[in-house]
Amino acid sequence: MPPFRLSFPNKDAHDSNSYARLRGIAESLGRCHEIIEERQPLPLIQADDWSFAWQAELLEQTAVMASATHELSDAAEGLAHQSGLGWSGTGAPEQIDILQQLAEISATGEDVSWCLSRDMAEIQHQAQELRDLLDQYHSAIGRASARYPMERLEDIPLDKLDESWRLAQAKIWPLAFFAKSSVRKLLQTYVESGQADPDRDIAAMRDARRLQSEIMDNVLQQCPAADGVNTDIDRLMNWVAQAGSLKAILDALAPTVSDQTRWETARLSLAQRAQGDLRRAVIHFSQKHSKWDSCANAFAQASQSDPEKLSLSELSEGLDRILEYKDHLSDWTRWISVRLQADAAGLAPLVEAIEEGRLKGDVEVAFVSAYAAWWLPLAIDAQPPLRGFSHWAHEDTIKRFKELDDRATEMAANQVLNRIQHGLPAQDAVPRRSELGTLRHQLTLQRPSMPIRTLISEMPDSFTRLAPCVLMSPLSVAQYLPAGQAAFDVVIFDEASQITTWDAIGAIARGRQAIIVGDPKQLPPTNFFGRSDDGDEDMPEAERDLASILDEVASAGIPTQQLDWHYRSRDESLIAFSNWHYYDGRLVTFPSPTTASEAVTLHQVDGVYGRGQGRTNDAEARAIVHKTVRRLSEWLTWPEEDRLTLGIITFNIQQQSLILDLLDEERRQNPDLEWFFEDAREEPVIVKNLENIQGDERDVMLFSITFGPDHAGRLSMAFGALNSDGGEKRLNVAVTRARQELHIFASIRADQIDLTRTKATGVKHLKAFLDFAARGPIALPAQDEGSLGSVENVFEGAIKAAIEAKGWELRPQIGVSGFRIDLGVVHPDHAGVYMAGIECDGATYHGSATARDRDKIRQAVLENLGWTILRIWSTDWFRNPGMVADRIHKMLVEHLETDRSRRAAEKTTPELTDQEESTTDCTTHTEPESGVTPHSLANDQASEVMKKEGSPTSETPVFAKSVSSEHFAKSAATGLDQPVPDPVQFYHQDYIPTLELLVANIVEHEGPIPLGLLGKRIANIHGWQRTGRRISEQVANALGHVEIHREDDIDFLWSAGSYSNRVTFRSKLNRSIRDISRAEIAELYDRHEASLLSSQDQALELARHAGISRLSAENRAYLESCILWRFSKHE
């Protein structure tokens, strides 16, 4: 689930400029947040414009606000205590509102305490009823014709008078007159004023009496505002309103009461409008709140925030923080400004994710990812080709394109042949006196009478038809092709950097157009045949380098086309130095499918240069010849079609001659080696110097630096042709001749070359090259990352994470040049090999000039180097990443199973015969066996052989070293007396003591080590590729200096007296899990015991700690047995 999502009105809401603005805002958000994240937040500050005046005003208002907040907090606490209301101490806004309501209860008004224990709704009902009764009562009094004493209304016999009046009305006149007069007179006696009218007054007074009774029975007659029939209804209604208001406030505050006793006292005091401590607390709170409110308004205006939303404690803390971190105000306001910009631009979700801590890592990258997640579905929906994309259909299209391209290539060759068909008549049909007749005549002569140049001149029209394409040197052109003959359509020069202008002119003149191909960074034309080693200061002008036709056309401004793809080197390290120093990193090179390269190896020789005494280095020459003989002897055991080719380069002709002489002697002693030197070979062994090696290449090249300290130990800074102008070009040629391996034999180190003693660029580059040979690509400027970089974009990062979640180990950006494989999948069984490469259709893919480049040629080159390339298409990935990851996982599993089957089949190859096992001087770089990467013991073998000859050497493989190699290198460096492997004596009984020392040495540095792996180590250091039966038996006879402890069905060897239940786990040894002793596994478990005990899958977790990429069933079973053993031996 992404940490946030973006949304805008439509997919066209932004153009490139507005999108760039959004990215800029996102980048500013990330940068500003990085700054404020390390500081205390200032949430009370929402102003986005900082100035000195503003800060001064803010700090003043903050100080005043802090004081007012403290005072209000104290007053609120006091009021809460007096009233019995709850107080948490934080002064939350709702608590302040409660106290504010309490403070709003007036200190003056009616005593409404009578209502506290009664239902307010009933009181209001009774008040309305009383109002109605009073109205009726006064209405009844108003109907009477006279005024009666209402307070003595009960004393008037109204019922009797009513009866008498009714009887009088019933009598006849005059009796009725006298009876009515009697009743009227009696009623008049009760009148206070006016004339009584029994007909009206008796009924009115009876109603008034009844209503008076009802009024006196009303419950409100008990409240202070009621006075029977004399009740002031307005006062009463005001009393009821005040009571209702008070009761509403008190009832609302009731849930917050913490002290019921105090609360009851406070209620009564407030209802009675009493003075006292509570009233004083109310007044004090009201005053402080009024002051605080005024300060809050001023602070809010300065800070652009609302302090009323915070509790008093939070507000106080925030105000104190502002005063304490006032120096951070400018950065904080910058953050607020950027945040407001982001909110206005629609990036509020991004801001929220940042502030809530949901977003980790690069903010700009997260924005790009979120924007793509919003925009891409809309863009894909709008484009039918993208909407209908499927990886299988696209890959079918690519496959079809490749097939058609291959067919077009085949057809092109036929088309060329068809176009150059000369249409000449049969040989017997040509007339004697014709161009072709002349040629036929010369062909029939046993000794042709006509020179070739004359013969060609006799065929001005037919020659180009007979030979439409000729391969000639410039000298041959001048010698054989007459001037003025019909011009060729095009003249192509190869290796033009070595052709002088005057030699090329004649050929150019014989064509309508010219294509001049060459490398200006390689050898120019030269008159060099043999020079002194003291530089070129006194060299005759005739012997200096000459200008080439390539230089001439380049300086003349003729259009040029750079050819940047580099095919020769099967390992990038072979061209990395030249690519950086001579081609500005422009060359597109292709990485090899190995995680660590040993293509460039430095052999440090303790040699002496014979300055003035032959100009040779005998130690280097002998080391090179030994290396050559060993490699050639090894290759003789291979099928002829698999044998590699070898070449040797020297700095001068004298060293070249010395090596040739030494090789001749070796060839006489071992005639089998002649196969490699036969001229019938397409690429026989060559030995050349800097001046004549250009144009040659071999699989393996050995380079003799030759120069070194003289017999007196002095090192001159004169390196022959390298000191000349353009000498670096010779070095460039020398170091780029190898296709697979380059071995440098040097008697000097990079740090011995003093550039203060020479200004020659060639010498400077030689120093850099020796450093590169010793340290690898890290020695190149701007190449500290080596052959691995970070993922190129979020797309690749997502793929890497998804595939790694399936259990594979992936490494991004494989390579050291501009072209890199996006993701390399490390072989789970062989850490030194990439099992496959994953290519994404990113910028590199879309930046290819043609479909042929991106979909055919590049992949073909990679597959030729041994890569298996899997492709992931961005549209496919975006639509359903889970399905794509599953598909790639399935393909990787299938490829792994196929590879394991192939390797298993290779293991069944019959062991070497005894004679093959005892072959001497045979060193090989083997492919990794199961779980074990090859150790570069061939290099160590060379060192030991040279020691026997009296010229100690050490070899330094570039980029990676095995444990054994490091050990032997250290042994040589310390000068200790180490046992020397001797393949010739291996099976002799008197070799057992030496073999025992070799075994003890290996066990000391690699033990505990299984017996099988020890046998491989012993075989390797003796130069053998496999461990046969006789080798294993001989090793078993040489275990006198070590201890054997059996673990299940495997014998592990320990140094004498070193056996223990715990041995420090060594993570840097390339071994299979079954080659690791359970004592090491137990120590690794101890180290991570806390996390392992809580893990649901201890074996899997332990495997990850051990650096195992994939956990097979067999390895799982072994780890689980080690865990059980560890608990049984727990210390």
User: Does 786 score more than 80 pLDDT?
Assistant: no
pLDDT on residue 781 = 62
Give the pLDDT mean for 819-838. Answer: 82
Per-residue pLDDT tens for 104-129? 898 888 899 998 888 989 999 999 99
Arch. (CATH architecture) of 794-907: 3-Layer(aba) Sandwich (3.40)
pLDDT on residue 1059 = 87
Residue whose C-alpha is closest to residue 1108's, from 1094, 1095, 1118: 1118
951 versus 260: which is more confidently predicted?
A: 260
Residue whose C-alpha is closest to residue 571's, from 899, 856, 817: 817
Of the listed ranges 394-398, 410-414, 616-620, 1066-1070, the least confidently predicted one is 1066-1070
User: Does 895 score more than 80 pLDDT?
Assistant: yes
pLDDT on residue 972 = 39
Q: How many CB atoms lie within 10 A of CB 61?
A: 21
Per-residue pLDDT tens for 498-507? 888 888 888 8
Residue 210 burial (10 A CB sphere; 0-12, 13-18, 19+): middle
Mean pLDDT of the chain: 82
User: Does 959 score more than 60 pLDDT?
Assistant: no
Per-residue pLDDT tens for 899-921? 888 877 766 544 433 333 333 33
pLDDT on residue 151 = 85
User: Does 296 score more than 90 pLDDT?
Assistant: yes
User: Does 1098 score more than 90 pLDDT?
Assistant: no
Q: How far is CA 762 from the centre of its chain?
A: 39
Give the pLDDT mean for 341-370. Answer: 90
pLDDT on residue 323 = 93
Strand partners, 825: 810, 836
Q: How far apart (Å, rounded) are the C-alpha atoms in residues 202 and 191?
A: 12
819 versus 767: which is more confidently predicted?
A: 767
Of the listed ranges 60-74, 352-366, 777-791, 1099-1113, the least confidently predicted one is 777-791
pLDDT on residue 444 = 82
Handedness of CA 241, 242, 245, 246 (dihedral sign): negative
pLDDT on residue 116 = 87
Cα 1128 to Cα 821, 1061, 1082, 1122, 1123, distances in angstroms: 48, 11, 11, 10, 9
What residue segments make up the domains of the chain, in order of their start? 16-106+273-382, 113-252, 423-466, 573-591+598-779, 794-907, 980-1058, 1060-1131
pLDDT on residue 783 = 41
Per-residue pLDDT tens for 78-102? 999 999 998 988 889 998 999 999 8
pLDDT on residue 290 = 94
The SS3 call for residue 626 is: helix
Residue 125 CB contacts under 8 Å (≥ 6 apart), including other chains: none
Q: How far apart (Å, rounded) are the C-alpha atoms in residues 506 and 39?
A: 78
What percentage of the chain exceeds 70 in pLDDT? Answer: 88
Residue 274 CB contacts under 8 Å (≥ 6 apart), including other chains: 268
Which amino acid is it at 398?
I
Residue whose C-alpha is closest to residue 919's, from 654, 635, 1123, 691: 635
Q: How far apart (Å, rounded) are the C-alpha atoms in residues 366 and 350?
A: 9
User: Does 1015 score more than 60 pLDDT?
Assistant: yes
CATH of 980-1058, one of 1.10.260, 2.60.120, 2.60.40, 1.10.10: 1.10.10
Per-residue pLDDT tens for 681-711? 889 999 999 888 888 899 999 999 999 998 8
Give the pLDDT mean for 575-596. Answer: 74
Give the pLDDT band of residue 666 (cuts 50, 70, 90): very high
Q: How far apart (Å, rounded) are the C-alpha atoms in residues 49 and 39?
A: 19
CATH of 573-591+598-779, one of 3.40.50.300, 3.40.50.1820, 3.40.50.150, 3.40.50.720: 3.40.50.300
pLDDT on residue 25 = 94
DSSP 757-780: G---HHHHHHHHHHHHHHH-GGGS
User: Does 69 score more than 90 pLDDT?
Assistant: yes
Structure tokens, 794: 């979020």
Q: pTM for the whole thing?
A: 0.52
Of the listed ranges 197-201, 310-314, 811-815, the least confidently predicted one is 811-815
Give the pLDDT band of residue 727 (cuts 50, 70, 90): confident
Per-residue pLDDT tens for 917-947? 333 333 333 333 333 333 333 333 333 333 3
